[in-house]
Amino acid sequence: MIAQWLSDIGGASAALLILLVAGHIFGDFLLQTQRMARRKERGWGAMLAHIALVFVAHCAVLWPFLSGRLIAGVLGLSILHLAFDVARARAFGQWGASLAAFFTDQALHLCAVFVLWRLLIRWTGGAPEGWSPSVSWLMWYARWSAVAAAYVFNGKGATRIVRGVLERFPKAVPPETGGTENEYEMGRTIGNLERYLTLTLVFFGQWAALGFIIAAKSIARFPEFTGRRHKDFAEYYLIGTLTSVLAAVASGMIVGLTVLWVQ
């Protein structure tokens, strides 16, 4: 299991890897607005601003390990992030064009994070330079950083996944059921709250309560489900809800199984 592997490599090294991943999530999702994500496909200004924020996010999260080597490594990681984003823009087009672009982009970033981690632990053995916090404190800090990163991902990354899945069914929404910017924002807010609640329930092991989330949303949408002509919309809605819940459950299980219970 990954949790056992993290335990075997040592507390400080495991904390370093967890914090590198958390730093990526904070930089790529928390500090990147939708406006920036769209504008960076059309010019270098927004792209460079995004890369600067990625660098700052990594340094801020990794402050217990800060050293000249770490800063140089994070700078190299940020340059790779820039190269991946430019390549993705040219290969897949605009930011929202493809779900495949999203997963390919994130896989490349995480591979780069893993390579940097391997280099850092080879240089330092995974130990912080300059001061010596206890391993138990480092793991506590890494765990809560990972939990915070999970909520950040479910607020933006999971929204992109749900939208990418639903974009495959553009004709399933009846013309009279929506399309205004206000309705879109309300739907996105509901989806975020749904995933935050689901993630919290997963962390506390309250699996039985997950059914109430789907039931509550179904009751709210019940008038739009009636009638045969709304059958496609009901299925469209179910696909979106299940994708949203699946993203929250999957991210919650990953954090729980690989971070929260690592000794």
Q: 230-246: per-residue pLDDT in tens? A: 666 777 888 888 899 99
Task: State how far Cα 24 lies from the chain centre.
Answer: 9
Between 39-48, 166-175, 212-221, 225-234, the lowest mean confidence (pLDDT) is in 225-234
Check pLDDT > 70 for residue 3: no
Closest among 9, 1, 252, 248 to 139, alpha carbons compared: 9
What does pTM read for this prediction? 0.86
**pLDDT (0 to 100) of residue 12:** 84
Residue 36 has pLDDT above 80, yes or no: no
Rounded to an integer, what distance in angstroms lies between the CA atom of residue 261 and that of residue 41?
A: 40
3-state helix vs strand vs coil in the chain, percent to 5: 85, 0, 15
pLDDT of residue 199: 95
CA angle 149, 155, 161 (to 5 degrees): 105
- Helix (H) and strand (E) counts in the chain: 11, 0
Query: What pLDDT does 29 receive?
Result: 93
- Give residue 96's pLDDT: 46
Residue 230 pLDDT = 61
CB 252 within 8 A of CB 198: yes
pLDDT at 175 over 70: no
Mean pLDDT computed over 63-88: 91
Give the pLDDT score at 95: 47
Q: Is the pLDDT of residue 133 over 70?
A: yes
Residues sharing a CB contact under 8 Å with residue 132, sequence separation 6 or more, in sequence order = none
Whether 262 shows a pLDDT value over 70: the answer reads no
Q: Mean pLDDT over residues 103-110, rounded? A: 93
**pLDDT tens column, 5-20:** 555 556 788 889 999 9
